[in-house]
Structure 1
Amino acid sequence: MAERPEMTMAESLSFNQKPSESRLSIPTPARIPLAGMVGFGIGATLGLAHGGRTAQLRFRAEHAHKMPTTTTGWYLYHKSKNYHAMQGGLREGLRMGSRLSFWTLMAFGLESTVDRYRGKTDLLSTVLASLTVAGGFSLWNRFSLPTAARTARYGLLFGLVYGGMQDAVGFARGRPIGYVDFVRRRLGSSRTTKLDQPQEG
């Protein structure tokens, strides 16, 4: 009995994966880091806006009892406020960007792992990965049961929408979709059975 040849590093990491067989036509080793960078960019943008506004409000509250009365005082006040807003925005942007990047990498990495374990690339892997990451996010933040359930619903919705979009794009590009192939096989076998049945009369 011939032994199976060992997979090379490139094969195990899917470097040799055809674009038509990859999700979004991007090989896995490129797609996962790209998703992490996109997640960091979105998180950093949201954090920058939220952190800057929060820092501005905090600065105004802390200095409400000693407002300036001169033109120079107002200039220095606004200069200091803008500095605090920029500092707070950068800090929150880095924090939120890093967090969103981490959870995005977890979701995409788990999706790829489920794909390889199942041997199929379709919506089911995306849904499983999204629900798992939503559960991990809820546990990490110690959410209450209603909040965790709402987070799971969001994870399910994201998995269905994003996975469905990937499958639609992949199907249009000729990538095999697990459940589509299953339905085709079922329909094909039922048609064959009907044709094989002898017709009466």
Structure 2
Amino acid sequence: MSDQTPNPNDMNNAIINQWTQDELDHMNLFEAFNFDNHGQRFGLHPIYRLPLLALSGSLVGGVSGMMYGYQLGGLKYLAMNAHRMPTDRNGWFYYHKRKNFVCLKDSFVTGFRQAAKVGLLVGTLFSLEAYFDYARGTIDFANTMMATTISGWIYANAYQLSSYQAKSLVKRGAGVGLLLGLLQDASNYLIGNDVWYLRVFFGINPRLSRKLS
């Protein structure tokens, strides 16, 4: 870190930017990573956070989709072969061998589809959240609520749900957004970030002082 600290009375934007760049140039990789992520949701800048969340959503959606696809494939195979069930041991052996192949194929197909859908939905949701964080210049639950509400509206229109179903989905999205946003605000407070409404309305300042040295 540089030992020369600019005089606040003489500082302008150019000096601040140059001083900040000089500080960054002297940081090691870990310090620069912490500086870049300071004050962000989950302690991660959107550049890192969004791909991780989308990937996590894809993994969860893929695993659940594979499980569902395997079960559904078994039911379909049973329905297709109910009129010609095996009558001997060899027949049952090949029946189950073929069934396992069909179920695995259906599980992978359904898993990939579900992974793409969930990954896209999660990526869209948290990208909207990050955009509102940037546009409003503050990080709080309101941005999460707006992101989940808009995501619910997009989902309802994409699948052409009825007006009643769309309204219900949007309302549930707002409720989920409120809960998720408050949980994120609590997480931000615990890791030492400033939660503005706690400070303004309740006088609760950040619990940790995270200064780079």
TM range (shorter): 0.7 to 0.9
Alignment match, 2:210: none
Alignment partner of 1:57 is 2:79? no
Q: Deviations over 1:38-75 (max 9, x none)?
A: 11011111111111111110100000001111111100
Coordinate RMSD, CA, aligned: 2.5
Contact 1:52 1:86 survives alignment (8 Å):
yes
Alignment match, 1:173: 191
Structure 2: unaligned runs, 5 residues or longer: 1-11, 22-32, 204-213
Instruction: Give the Å deviation of 1:3.
Output: 8.0
Alignment match, 1:137: 155
Look up the SS of the partner of 1:142 in the other structure: coil
Alpha-carbon separation, structure 1, partners of 2:152 and 2:97: 41
Instruction: Give the Å deviation of 1:156.
Output: 1.3
Counterpart code for 1:107: L
Alpha-carbon separation, structure 2, partners of 1:176 and 1:18: 16
Instruction: Give the Å deviation of 1:148.
Output: 1.1
Look up the SS of the partner of 1:65 in the other structure: helix
Structure 1: unaligned runs, 5 residues or longer: 9-14, 186-201
Alpha-carbon separation, structure 1, partners of 2:43 and 2:95: 52
Alignment partner of 1:30 is 2:48? yes
Instruction: Give the Å deviation of 1:18.
Output: 4.3
Alignment match, 1:21: 39
Instruction: Give the Å deviation of 1:162.
Output: 1.2
Alpha-carbon separation, structure 2, partners of 1:88 and 1:182: 54
**Higher mean displacement: 77-86 or 176-185:** 176-185
Alignment match, 2:99: 81
Kindly tell me: are residues 22 and 129 of structure 1, through their superposed partners in 2, closer, same or farther at Cα, counting changes over 3 Å? same
Alignment partner of 1:112 is 2:130? yes
Alpha-carbon separation, structure 1, partners of 2:140 and 2:53: 18
Look up the SS of the partner of 2:82 in the other structure: coil
Alignment match, 2:112: 94
Kindly tell me: are residues 102 and 19 of structure 1, through their superposed partners in 2, closer, same or farther at Cα, counting changes over 3 Å? same
Instruction: Give the Å deviation of 1:180.
Output: 2.4
**Higher mean displacement: 79-88 or 146-155:** 146-155
Structure number with the bigger relative contact order (C-alpha 8 A, sep ≥ 6) is: 1
Contact 1:20 1:174 survives alignment (8 Å):
no
Superposed structure 1 runs of 4+ greater than 6 Å apart = 2-5
Aligned residues: 180
